[in-house]
Structure 1
């Protein structure tokens, strides 16, 4: 059965930001905030404010939460404002999904001001029926289902009729826990994340297009 709504994660799916975030986290943010060398892949897809709490439970921290958050905010200005590129063929994919009658949403753990930078830079503000940030809800971020349950309510489509496109283990788990189908997207970053829980996995923009339009 064809999905009625397609929900896109932003980082690593709409834009190729994960490669920059992984590099920035591993080389700058985490070494300045955490004792030792935590695995950045464990927190991929999580809200950056919750990453501090996650790390604090498991490591000795060498920076305050305010300092940690400020380092992410500074990095975001550069990554979204200067470095990222839009996924190849993404605008055409959205147009074809729209013509196919799908409802389209962006669903991200990132705050709205980061999302706004991407929407404005690539002129995508009118491309989605709903733009949803995890900061809108009083719940837990991915891998918990909260943000996708909320997204289904906001687009007015039952979770069983939604498909989420996610590049991370946490994102796929979140969508599946919310009762949605999930398409894992391998975004050619240096991370080889476990997407085995997804209903299908795309290794390129062409494969993602084929999966979504061929449901």
Structure 2
């Protein structure tokens, strides 16, 4: 009888919650999504050279990772206007894209099981990007290494978590379903800066992190954010998240760029307080000991200075990590 009473007693609420970015953090979706975006914009890039598109693609993806397509579109339109070229919509209507570029683009689109450029049936390029990204990711979305074990471990210790992403719906729910992650992230656990606000609130705006924390029933200072982009770190910082873990282990960040990307996540250049991630890890297996450390600190009412990491937080880390500076624990008042 005692066991029955014990089992029926509600579990005590954990002191923290975890707020995950999605692309490049939970899902290895950044590369295919960015490739689709590149090939959609390629016919309209100023001075696009058909013979160099494949080589230019990687640099373009690295420069635009984590950026909403709306902003990529704005940049492209601005460059075309400055070059005296017609708008994308006018060019599409006239089917005036360079023929040699279209040939290369159509070959790339075929790899993603997308129709030739001039057979795409959308009202505008933004709608095309949303629809075609969904199609590609239904097949290509895969989990980041180590994420499922991390989610399982968080469930075991009773720490809640959700998704806080710039990316829209239904794209993210489609990816979650194709990866078999609905059991971790049912619809109410997916928060979108693009889809959940009118007008949309893209990172580094704080809104999506504030919404995720509020929905889970936590103050943002009691939340850990896990991010792979500078704008995402800025969003988490601007929302007041108590601890920010940067992640550079996903496939869209090449090996030779991981250190420089980590330094960017630590820089705080998109944060109003100019403070970046507390720490950046290459392996998600190192996220759990960091989360447990923050959990213990919050249980004692202590906070960690933004952009810093206490030395004793590093004790149980096994993989490579990057930090900007080390600081002693700070009591929160």
Structure 1 partner of 2:285: 206
Instruction: Point out where structure 2 has 5 or more consecutive residues left out of the alignment.
Output: 1-13, 49-58, 82-86, 90-121, 267-275, 295-333
Instruction: Point out where structure 1 has 5 or more consecutive residues left out of the alignment.
Output: none
RMSD, aligned CA: 2.7
TM-score by length of 2: 0.57
Structure 2 partner of 1:32: 43
Shift of residue 195, structure 1, vs aligned partner: 0.8
Q: Is 1:52 aligned to 2:73, yes or no?
A: yes
1:42-121 alignment runs, 5 A limit: 42-53=63-74, 55-56=76-77, 58-60=78-80, 62-64=87-89, 66-121=123-178
Moved over 6 A (4+): none
Q: Whose relative contact order is higher, 1 or 2, with alpha carbons under 8 Å and at least 6 apart? A: 1
How far, CA to CA, are the matches of 2:72 and 2:196 in structure 1? 17
SS of residue matched to 1:153: helix
How far, CA to CA, are the matches of 2:31 and 2:265 in structure 1? 17
Aligned partners of 1:44 and 1:170 also within 8 Å: no
User: Against the structure 1 CA distance between its residues 80 and 159, is the aligned structure 2 distance closer, same or farther, given a 3 Å change threshold?
Assistant: same
Aligned partners of 1:8 and 1:105 also within 8 Å: yes
For these two proteins, the number of residue pairs brought into alignment is 212
User: Against the structure 1 CA distance between its residues 3 and 172, is the aligned structure 2 distance closer, same or farther, given a 3 Å change threshold?
Assistant: farther
Structure 2 partner of 1:195: 265
Structure 2 partner of 1:147: 208
Aligned partners of 2:167 and 2:192 also within 8 Å: yes
Q: Is 1:169 aligned to 2:180, yes or no?
A: no
User: Against the structure 1 CA distance between its residues 173 and 155, is the aligned structure 2 distance closer, same or farther, given a 3 Å change threshold?
Assistant: same
Structure 1 partner of 2:17: 5
SS of residue matched to 2:183: coil
Aligned match of 1:17 in 13, 22, 29? 29
Shift of residue 19, structure 1, vs aligned partner: 2.0
How far, CA to CA, are the matches of 1:22 and 1:14 in structure 2? 16
Aligned partners of 1:46 and 1:143 also within 8 Å: no
Aligned partners of 1:34 and 1:63 also within 8 Å: no
Shift of residue 101, structure 1, vs aligned partner: 2.3
Q: Is 1:183 aligned to 2:208, yes or no?
A: no
Structure number with greater Rg is 2
